[in-house]
Amino acid sequence: MIVTEAHLVEGLFERELPSKAPRDGFGDGLVVLGERNPDVVVLTGDLADSTRVSAFRDRFPDRFFQVGVAEQNMMGIAAGLAICGKIPFCSSYATFSPGRNWDQLRVSVCYSEANVKVAGAHAGLSVGPDGATHQALEDIAITRVLPNMTVVVPCDYHQTLKATIALAEHRGPAYFRFGRERTPIFTTPETPFELGRAQVLRHGSDLTIVACGPLVLEALKAARTLAAEGIEARVLNCHTIKPLDVEALVAAARETGALVTVEEHQIHGGLGSAVAEALALHHPAPMEMVAMPDSFGESGRAEELLEKWGLTAPAIVERARRVLRRR
């Protein structure tokens, strides 16, 4: 069954949206988990405040592990804790985890099917002034290729909180990424969240925009612009990259005939690649991709960087027009 949540965006742009950092959703979700499940433990690589695990540390100090700037060691410790029956959450910047400790993630966690949850904070360009070395734009690619791994990219504060809780209840290795900056909140505490199920946030029959992370809102903005031109775009929030909701994607390809994917990640190996792989096997359709164009980022304000590399609503609109010409 395809999950439809189009009612969420009714009147979305007619009101001022509150904003909050997705990393706060992660931190708040951990506190909820700490109260519910004594097996939940948290590890961090000297980034407790920045990744928002400090609240868990303060509430449950006996279940918190500060491993220092040693991300590879952190992943090994997490694997050991998981094998002993705990549910460890590893928190760091995504460039360090899974970036720096990918070998340990591959062998100690995924090969062993250890129940470790890896939280990649400060993902994408939104880390801004920290520059290219800290802007994780490859993390979806390097995690979704690993056997046994679940990969999730929530769209706002509420969905990050729900993803944190859902992944604790899911058995097996998992990676989820989220940004640093405050972003608009356009889901609600009551909005359903199910791993592996894309959400239809807007109905449309002319094409489909498939997005993940904070850029889902840019996809909705683009759909509004297209509607003013008489083009009705379906918008899918594809928050789970692996396992991918092939049913929803095939339905979109069959019913709308063309797709645009949108992500704050390299154009190679991320959401766009996953969608292309699925459709090539099940229902080929014209596609365009809005993503980082095989480039490193640079230091600057998040909004400046997103605009420079075409990760905003106007770029999505342009790609939508282009794919319609190919349909």
Residues forming a β-bridge with 174 = 117, 150
Model confidence at 1, pLDDT cuts 50, 70, 90, reads: low
Number of neighbouring beta carbons within 10 Å of residue 83? 14
Chain segment 245-259, per-residue pLDDT in tens: 999 999 999 999 999
Could you give the C-alpha distances from 138 to 10, 177, 239, in angstroms and in order? 34, 11, 17
> Average pLDDT of 179-190?
94
Q: Which of 14, 16, 71, 264 is an active site residue?
A: 71
CATH number of the domain located at residue range(s) 3-17+192-326 in this protein = 3.40.50.920
Model confidence at 6, pLDDT cuts 50, 70, 90, reads: low
Angle (deg, nearest 10), helices 22-36 and 157-169: 40
Residue 5 reports pLDDT greater than 80: no
Place of tokens 């979704």: 144
Model confidence at 11, pLDDT cuts 50, 70, 90, reads: confident
| pLDDT of 126 | 86
- Residues forming CATH 3.40.50.970 domain(s) in the chain: 19-184
Write down the pTM of the prediction: 0.96
| pLDDT of 326 | 87
Q: Is 71 a catalytic residue?
A: yes
**Alpha carbon distance 245, 182 (integer Å):** 28
Chain segment 39-60, per-residue pLDDT in tens: 999 999 999 999 999 999 999 9
| pLDDT of 301 | 94
Q: What percent of the chain has pLDDT over 70?
A: 97
CA angle 278, 242, 245 (to 5 degrees): 55
What average pLDDT does the chain have?
96
> Average pLDDT of 290-316?
96
Residue 210 gets the label, from left (phi > 0), alpha (psi -120 to 50) or beta, of: beta
Chain segment 118-135, per-residue pLDDT in tens: 999 999 998 889 999 999
Model confidence at 3, pLDDT cuts 50, 70, 90, reads: low
| pLDDT of 274 | 98
> Average pLDDT of 196-206?
97
Residue 4 reports pLDDT greater than 90: no
| pLDDT of 97 | 98
Higher pLDDT, 126 or 271: 271
Structure tokens at 174: 């998992």
- Residues forming CATH 3.40.50.920 domain(s) in the chain: 3-17+192-326
Residue 9 reports pLDDT greater than 80: no
> Average pLDDT of 219-223?
97
Q: Which of 9-23, 176-190, 228-242, 251-265 has the lowest mean pLDDT?
A: 9-23
Chain segment 150-178, per-residue pLDDT in tens: 999 999 999 999 999 999 999 999 999 99
Model confidence at 8, pLDDT cuts 50, 70, 90, reads: low
- Which CATH superfamily groups domain 19-184? Thiamin diphosphate (ThDP)-binding fold, Pyr/PP domains (3.40.50.970)
**Helix, coil or strand: residue 188:** coil
**Alpha carbon distance 105, 43 (integer Å):** 14
**Alpha carbon distance 312, 246 (integer Å):** 26
